[in-house]
Structure 1
Amino acid sequence: MYIENPDRTNLRYGYTTGACATAATRAALIMMVTGKTVDYVEINLPAKKTARFLIENSKIYENYCIASVKKDGGDDPDVTTGLYIYSRVEYSEKSGIEITGGEGVGVVTKEGLPIKPGNPAINPVPLKMLRAAATEVLDSYEVHRGLKITISVPGGAEVATKTCNPKLGIIGGISILGTRGIVIPFSDSSWKASIVLGIRVASRMDMDTLVFSTGGRSDTAVHKIFPDFKEEQFIEIGDFLGFSVKRAVDTGIRNLVIAGMPGKISKLADNNMDLHSSKSSVNFDFLASIGKKIGYPDEIISRIRHANTVLNVMEIINYDSIFLDTLKERSIENINKITGNKIKVDIEIIKNEY
């Protein structure tokens, strides 16, 4: 999986579901061993940091203990923020540590993810964190018994519908995630990682054609254009066009449709592979040059050059098919430069009426 270096921001960091599950597990196991509730625990994070968590909903039963941590995604728009991540621990007759998922934790049903189908959606790093935390507690109290850990997230099934889990083949709940233990606000890396997973899942399903959309409206519109395509073929890539195309080539995808509003496609036609406003901007001189090549009157070319938005340009040319086809051709040429013609590309320009 591709993970980018974290962005540097002044926003408040949060903690991953994996970190919360680990803290809840540590607390529940300490309660199991000592017979006393705990209010806080500290855990070591993969990001080489130590974090302290408030423990809630602690309960000690005869044969098991339960504790929870309230998920806090910091200033990241994380749909799992506010959910309680529960851990139930109990001794087992089996040796070793068994980790499973309960209510609200999804189950993997498709190939291409870090977890094999049929297993709970608890990713490898959180699994490692859970085992390490449990082993540390058992060793520190000199307890030599098997252990079963069940992670559950009440409300997780409902929240999961707002994530990409259903498309990835994770059903019934959220994933227990995190490679660093911390949530970096508005992180590019998390979006890119989800793009890579989407491509990988589609590839494992032997799909050789994908549809990349640069935004929500484009995604909605292109679903209507290709009604017979499977959901896994549609991936919303945002502004990460160059990155996504390269990953598709690396994975062996043969055909690619890129769908975007005229503004985004005009940037691509002007040879920009990062479509974010901070990395590229609409070049109205470039658009005017296309009008000139087509043979528009000087008055129209001037209006294009002095337009305020690409929507304004589309209104001026009335979505002229020759103009749009030129944008498509330029876009395909630019993509072929970075792929070496290893993938067949089509462009869908989505009208602003969608």
Structure 2
Amino acid sequence: METTPLVHKRKKLRSGYTTGSCAAAAAKAATSMLLEGAIVNQVSLLTPKGVTLHLTIEDISMEKDSIRCAVRKDSGDDPDVTNGILVYAVVRRVQGNQITLDGGIGVGRVTLPGLWQKIGEAAINKVPRLMILQEVASVCEQKGYDGGLDVIIEIPEGIEIARRTFNPRLGIEGGISVLGTTGIVEPMSESALIDSIALEIRVKKANGQEILILTPGNYGADFLKETLHIDINKAVKCSNYVGEALDTAVEVGYKKILMVGHVGKFVKLAAGIMNTHSRQADARMEIFLANAALEGANLETLQAIEKAITTDEMIFILKQAGYLEGVLERITNRIQFYVQHRVGTDIKIGIMVFSVEYGLLGQTEGTEDLI
């Protein structure tokens, strides 16, 4: 496989290929072996990205009217839980002239609305499904075969892997999804994470959840559960991608959004920073410093904030000096200003900011109504 490597921290990162590419290549090989009666050890596959893969075929089982074989997933330098697993295709001759596709062991089943597939169907996404069917049809055409074929994709390790993914929350039970829009895994890809966040938001909307609950991560989830007594399965962890999550919420039609976040993340929103990862921007100290100055904090307090390392340290300084309540009210209102600007005025927003050390620090007007 030849791709242009990504560079991360001056290290070239190797791309990989998706479960969808593995499934398509295995199906192609199995169809060839079924129609020719000869072993196929390698196949080439042109991915939607335009990259040609040359993939090794493993664990071949040949019967008279059925072939089963696998391709091993290679995620490159991307930290993917599916790296190294075998993705199988079983191809059988059947009556008629149709080519059918379904999922077998380890491929999840859709149980909730909101996904591309219908309820009850195998979780084989649109692009991989098209790739698989096209590869099988192409082999049939080359070999002059116009009969029927039944194609089953199996991922035996998918049952266990699914327990470590968000699939059950998305309504995918019994295994993992067969994924990939380009056929190639880009290492350290942010787009895959953003897509998964957007998908979870869509599923919750499709299942009738009227209020979207967003929190960056585990601190927020713990606060929701332990302090607000809200089922964390109703919340979406948006990681650092607050802006993208809000954009999806608007796209799918949410009219009410409750945002609950640790002050170390959410304070950045008060400056309009919608990607809260530290490599994008920090500005925590500057935001506290500016708002403390607007509250009339003296020079000694401002200098102490400037030297502080953590937000909890800044909060302690402000609390001791008697400015904390005013500063947090300003910061919370600015968060609401920028969030409201992002989503528009017809969406009701509630924002809660907390600290593990100090508990609830501030919330916007109307938040209690959403809770």
CA contact (8 A) 1:37 1:59 kept: no
User: Offset of 1:82 from its aligned partner?
Assistant: 1.8
Find the aligned partners of 2:319 and 2:187 in 1 and give their Cα distance: 40
Question: Who is 1:109 aligned against?
Answer: 111
2:345 corresponds to 1:336: no
Find the aligned partners of 1:252 and 1:54 in 2 and give their Cα distance: 45
Question: Who is 2:203 aligned against?
Answer: 201
Q: What TM-score does the superposition give when structure 2 sets the normalisation length?
A: 0.88
What are structure 1's unaligned runs of at least 5 residues? 1-5
Task: Give the AA of the match of 2:146.
Answer: H
Find the aligned partners of 1:202 and 1:273 in 2 and give their Cα distance: 22
Name the structure where strand makes up a greater proportion of residues. Answer: 2
Question: Who is 2:82 aligned against?
Answer: 80
* 98 and 196 in structure 1: CA distance in 2 versus 1, 3 angstrom threshold: same
1:45-91 Cα distance to aligned partner (Å, 9 max, x none): 11112101111101101221110011111111111112110111101
Task: Give the AA of the match of 1:260.
Answer: G
Range 189-198 or range 306-315, more displaced: 306-315
Question: Who is 1:306 aligned against?
Answer: 307
Range 290-299 or range 150-159, more displaced: 290-299
Q: What TM-score does the superposition give when structure 1 sets the normalisation length?
A: 0.92
User: Offset of 1:178 from its aligned partner?
Assistant: 0.6
Question: Who is 2:170 aligned against?
Answer: 168
Question: Who is 1:249 aligned against?
Answer: 250
Task: Give the AA of the match of 1:79.
Answer: V
User: Offset of 1:322 from its aligned partner?
Assistant: 4.3
User: Offset of 1:260 from its aligned partner?
Assistant: 2.3
* 342 and 329 in structure 1: CA distance in 2 versus 1, 3 angstrom threshold: same
Find the aligned partners of 2:225 and 2:346 in 1 and give their Cα distance: 25
Task: Give the AA of the match of 1:307.
Answer: A
* 105 and 225 in structure 1: CA distance in 2 versus 1, 3 angstrom threshold: farther
Question: Who is 1:66 aligned against?
Answer: 68
Task: Give the AA of the match of 1:53.
Answer: L
Greater RCO, CA 8 A, separation 6+:
1
Q: Secondary structure at the match of 2:355?
A: coil
* 190 and 72 in structure 1: CA distance in 2 versus 1, 3 angstrom threshold: same
* 228 and 133 in structure 1: CA distance in 2 versus 1, 3 angstrom threshold: same
Aligned-residue CA RMSD (Å): 2.1
Find the aligned partners of 1:321 and 1:257 in 2 and give their Cα distance: 21
Task: Give the AA of the match of 1:263.
Answer: G
Q: Secondary structure at the match of 1:346?
A: strand
Instruction: Count residues with an aligned counterpart.
Output: 348
Find the aligned partners of 1:107 and 1:226 in 2 and give their Cα distance: 33
What are structure 2's unaligned runs of at least 5 residues? 360-371
2:261 corresponds to 1:260: yes
1:298-331 Cα distance to aligned partner (Å, 9 max, x none): 3222211221232321333359454333322210
User: Offset of 1:250 from its aligned partner?
Assistant: 2.0
Q: Secondary structure at the match of 2:48?
A: coil
Question: Who is 2:363 aligned against?
Answer: none
Q: Secondary structure at the match of 1:212?
A: strand
User: Offset of 1:296 from its aligned partner?
Assistant: 4.0
